[in-house]
Structure 1
Amino acid sequence: MQDNNKRALNKRYVERDRDWHPPAYAPGYKTSVARSPSQALVSLWNPTASELMGPDFRKLRMGPHDNDLLLNHRDAEKPGLPVGERIIMFGRVLDQFGKPVPHTLVEMWQANAGGRYRHKKDAYLAPLDPNFGGVGRCLTDEDGWYRFRTIKPGPYPWGNGINTWRPAHIHVSVMGPAISTRLITQMYFEGDPLIPLCPIVQTLNDQEAVETMTARLDMARSRPMDSLAYRFDIVVRGELQTYFENQ
């Protein structure tokens, strides 16, 4: 354990480029006005061992369909498949130096094909799908790969403006190698015309940052006559980190 602590304390994170990440206070994205920090950020320049180590998910028990949203919420009384475009979402979790992060927890949640979440506060008029829960999880393999099977989510209106719509997106939480590297982000789909119109996306000054949140169509990984595949790689810490809207 002492050797692990020493190795952890010898790690250092690459400092974020604050000009690349968006400001915490962005009036065009109205939610940021209330939740932007009023005090200085806390530096992790000299992190402790507890911030640089674990948790270890290798013994976490997964259900047989945890990463398959086509099957993990089937209606027991009227079982069927979810409505919508079937897709495969996959990619690698990497650290700040491009090395794979094995055995880390990746969680995701999303709206259904009509743009509605299975949440009691979602009042959008699109119907719920009795066979779609909209949540999944998996562990990365030895090389940092993860994979989900799901339905492409629909766009939906939100109260940021009179006629403001969120692009189709999937929320992703990934722990990375340690507590301090946990990332919550969202994945968009390449070619979506709503991406540049989104007030959240507009907080970014660099198109390259937007690209880190955009999944790419991968026909080689698609399943003929079944599902298209989208690749979304995630960098959990450092100057190459996938954009996270609150940082």
Structure 2
Amino acid sequence: MARSGAGGRLEGREDRPGGPTQKERARRGAPPPGDTVRFDPIPESRQPAAIDPAYGSTLRRGPRHPPIAVACEAATGAGVRFGPDAVPPGACDLTNRGRDEPLGQRIVVTGRVLDEDGRPVRRSLIEIWQCNAAGRYTHANDQHRAPLDPNFSGEGRTLTDDDGRYRFITIRPGAYPWNNHANAWRPAHIHFSLFGNVHAQRLVTQMYFPDDPLIPYDAIINTIPDEAARRALVSRFSMEETIADEALGYVHDIVLRGRGATPFGL
């Protein structure tokens, strides 16, 4: 449980179920269970700005009033739990939906979902959606001049395992133009939606690819002032995750809450 402390700091108690053991707390120099602990506020620069003139739609939909305080229990109470039937067989493979093979470079996207203490978040439902290799979504609102792929729908889901690990097989998405400003292009990216152990761990974010030349020009990722936080959205290439003669591998770990939290709301 946490409450406002003096001097704009936060106070809380490390007494939640599944929290660090007393031995782990002692090793980290933390106080024993039941003691009040104090935390410096997490820098706002690690999350996207609510209103950024460079990202035009935030001027229309960004909040103009201060956030509304809610009871701590509303944010830390138990979240939605998902069983195996929440994910149909094969839902993590986005390349097996059509009669033929989808077009584009096949890739593996894998990683771990962790909480603020580095523990695995088990049975987290992860949903992804993306455009096809030509940069077009299978959606009525996407009418830009690029071909649709009848063998690629661009959406999938999976549950993390006991180690917090997830794995998708998909197609590397293409870049596409958008109407934020003249000659605006979105880098290749995949949208992620995650459910954690508590309501406050609900996360919607995006994953980018290393060495993409469009990232420095992207108005969306650059709503995040902190460079390290922006880098946390960029996956890394992994030869170990590559499938020989079939797919390249990318690793993308996601942290729910805490100082190292993955930026959300993108």
- After TM superposition, the score normalised by the length of structure 1 is 0.88
Do the aligned residues in 1 keep the contact of 2:122 with 2:160 (CA within 8 Å)?
yes
Deviation at 1:223, TM superposition (A): 0.8
Structure 1 residues 190-209: aligned runs within 5 Å: 190-209=210-229
Deviation at 1:49, TM superposition (A): 6.1
Match for residue 123 of structure 1 among 143, 167, 182? 143
SS of residue paired to 2:235? strand
Q: Which has the higher contact order (CA 8 A, sep 6+)?
A: 1
Query: In structure 1, how many angstroms separate the alpha carbons of the residues matched to 2:75 and 2:83?
Result: 18
Match for residue 68 of structure 1 among 93, 96, 112? 93
Match for residue 36 of structure 1 among 23, 46, 62? 62
Of structures 1 and 2, the larger Rg is shown by 2
Residue number in structure 1 paired with 2:114:
94
SS of residue paired to 2:129? strand
Do the aligned residues in 2 keep the contact of 1:51 with 1:178 (CA within 8 Å)?
yes
Q: State yes or no: 1:55 paired with 2:80.
A: yes
Query: In structure 2, how many angstroms separate the alpha carbons of the residues matched to 1:35 and 1:42?
Result: 17
Q: State yes or no: 1:21 paired with 2:41.
A: no
Cα RMSD (Å) of the superposition? 2.0
Query: In structure 2, how many angstroms separate the alpha carbons of the residues matched to 1:19 and 1:207?
Result: 9
Deviation at 1:153, TM superposition (A): 0.2
Query: In structure 2, how many angstroms separate the alpha carbons of the residues matched to 1:139 and 1:194?
Result: 31
Structure 1 residues 105-116: aligned runs within 5 Å: 105-116=125-136
* Alignment-mate amino acid for residue 140 of structure 1: T
SS of residue paired to 2:258? coil
Deviation at 1:50, TM superposition (A): 7.2
Structure 1 residues 82-231: aligned runs within 5 Å: 82-231=102-251
Deviation at 1:62, TM superposition (A): 2.1
Structure 1: which 5+ runs fail to align? Answer: 1-5
Deviation at 1:40, TM superposition (A): 1.1
Deviation at 1:174, TM superposition (A): 0.7
Deviation at 1:245, TM superposition (A): 4.0
SS of residue paired to 2:240? helix
Which stretch shifts more, 198-207 or 124-133? 198-207
Do the aligned residues in 1 keep the contact of 2:203 with 2:265 (CA within 8 Å)?
no
Relative to structure 1, the CA distance from residue 179 to residue 231 in structure 2 (aligned partners, 3 Å threshold; closer, same or farther) is same
Q: For 1:175-196, what per-residue CA distance to the aligned partner results, in whole angstroms no more than 9, with x for missing partners?
A: 1112221010000000000001
Deviation at 1:59, TM superposition (A): 4.3
Identity %: 42
Query: In structure 1, how many angstroms separate the alpha carbons of the residues matched to 2:74 and 2:61?
Result: 29
Which stretch shifts more, 197-206 or 114-123? 197-206
Deviation at 1:20, TM superposition (A): 2.9
- After TM superposition, the score normalised by the length of structure 2 is 0.82
Query: In structure 1, how many angstroms separate the alpha carbons of the residues matched to 2:38 and 2:101?
Result: 44
Deviation at 1:205, TM superposition (A): 2.0
Deviation at 1:63, TM superposition (A): 1.6
* Alignment-mate amino acid for residue 154 of structure 2: G
Q: For 1:48-72, what per-residue CA distance to the aligned partner results, in whole angstroms no more than 9, with x for missing partners?
A: 167421211134342221000001x
